[in-house]
Structure 1
Amino acid sequence: MKNIVIIGCGKGIGLAAARLLAGQHHITGISRSDALELQHPNIEFHRKDILTETLDDIVFPDVVDGLIYAPGSINLKPLNRLTEEDFKHDFEINVLGAVKIIQKLLPHLRKPETASVVLFSSVAAKLGMPFHASVAASKSAVEGLVRSLAAEFSAQKIRFNAVAPSLTDTSLAAHLLSTPEKREASAKRHPLQRIGSAEEIAGLAAFLISDQASWITGQVLGADGGMSRIRL
């Protein structure tokens, strides 16, 4: 049984990852929202905002085999409506929060024979999309962080990878999928003609945590219905 820490496990992809992994692993879950759906004997849940609250009162397992950092943001606006605070907020959620928990857990991640960290990017970091300036900038920083840390910690056998989804059916994206018309239009923008599910994205994160992915590091894996690679 591995010890896995999941940040942002209260909703969406983080919640799906906790459910998927709890059957075989011990999960330490942290979320700023209540996680009423995470009633499982293998899940130890802490309600905290990782950006504003200290983590010093959480007793993490001595050995941490994996970390999934799943908080995210969808702040889509024209550039002239994006403020400096918008850019700062997206960067704090996607990058600085990840750095904070990685630094906190680094002594624990060094203890197993091999450990794995999974962050989240976005298809918008590769594919120029209107109104995505703030989120694309912060997610591009996530990709740079992943590659840098993968190089820095390769000798210590700590793997760093990222998953880059397109629009996924979660509460975070609810306003973009709020009507049948919006949902259909969003689906048609993808070569596979549908929206991704939180469970599908969580499955890829779970794979990257697993021993089956032990030779994968420094990668950004797209889970985007073909959007970043296929033109029809």
Structure 2
Amino acid sequence: MKNILLIGGSYGIGYAIAKELQFECKVYIASRTFENTDDLNVTHIPFDASTDSLDTSKLPEIIDGLVYCPGSINLRPFKGIKPETFEADMHINFFSMIKVIQTILPNLSASNQSSIVLFSSVAASMGMPFHTSVAAAKGAIEGFAKALAAEFTPKIRVNVIAPSLTDTPLADKFLNNDVKREKSAERHPLKRFGTADDLAQMATFLLNDKSSWISGQIFHVDGGMSTLLVNG
């Protein structure tokens, strides 16, 4: 049975991944809160990715999969963004992620072949107004993931999922009424926004052995937004 560590798994995409994996893997969730995980067959580790150091004594010696879920969505005109906002977005999306990976690298290396799954954004590959801060942070993740995959192949696989707008608590302010939800759905060629389950299905695939020949890839799970021009 594989040991899977989710950084952030109490709600949203991480929670959906935990639901998918809880009976076929030993799932560890490191997150600030754990109220929503009471109904899951998981082990919870109190952890704030923005401030804490991960306590590896609570983890198994072998970790077969890591998913880093914490992120941010700061959308505003560039001229109104302070440098501190860019720094905060880089910290939670990128630097905290690096710290986690370096901390558990021995555990990942102890697996026959471990898998790291990271999250980017469609905004990292498309020029989208008001996305400068999040695009910068997520773009860093994509470049880092390819370099890390090359450095640790074949022992550790590294892949990135780049979604468009997904219905999670993080995106609630963009989907908190019917008008916003309808407009958001219409922006996508597949005429709906994403769900946590959409992303969880891709993440669980990248964690299991069915994807053992896949590494260094960016997967756009975005309703066709990044590649399809419909009625344009």
Asked if the contact 1:121–1:165 (Cα under 8 Å) also holds between the matched residues in 2, the reply is: yes
How far, CA to CA, are the matches of 2:38 and 2:168 in structure 1? 20
2:72 is aligned to 73
Quote the residue 2:102 is aligned against. Answer: 103
* Residue correspondences, number: 230
C-alpha contact 1:117 1:161 (8 A) present in aligned 2: yes
SS of the aligned residue for 1:175 comes to helix
The answer for the alignment partner of 2:55 in structure 1 is 56
Q: Does 1:153 align with 2:152?
A: yes
Contact 1:167 1:196 in 2 (8 A): yes
Q: Which among 183, 199, 202 is matched to residue 201 of structure 1?
A: 199
Q: Within the alignment, does 1:117 sit opposite 2:116 as a pair?
A: yes
Instruction: With the length of structure 1 as denominator, give the TM-score of the two structures.
Output: 0.96
Provide the C-alpha distance between the structure 1 equivalents of 2:225 and 2:8, rounded to a whole number of angstroms.
Answer: 25
Q: Which whole-Å CA distance do the structure 2 matches of 1:202 and 1:189 have between them?
A: 22
Deviations 1:95-140 (A, max 9, x none): 1111111101110111111100000000000111110000000000
Deviates more, 1:20-29 or 1:50-59: 50-59
* Structure 1 residues 208 and 62: alpha-carbon distance in aligned structure 2, compared to 1, 3 A threshold: same
The answer (yes or no) to whether the contact 2:122–2:226 under 8 Å persists in 1 is yes
Separation in 2, partners of 1:154, 1:223: 24
Structure 2: 5+ residue stretches without partners: none
Query: Identity percentage over the alignment?
Result: 48
Deviation at 1:41, TM superposition (A): 6.5
Letter paired with 1:18 = A
1:29 aligns with 29
* Structure 1: 5+ residue stretches without partners: none
- Pairing partner for 2:167 from 169, 172, 185: 169
CA distance 1:57–1:218, shift in 2 (3 Å): closer
| Aligned equivalent of 1:224 | 222
Q: Deviations over 1:137-185 (max 9, x none)?
A: 0000000010000000004x20000000000001111100111011000
Give 1:35 deviation, angstroms: 2.3
Q: Deviations over 1:69-115 (max 9, x none)?
A: 01110110100111111101111111111111110111011111110
Q: Give the match for residue 5 of structure 1.
A: 5
- Give RMSD over aligned pairs: 1.2
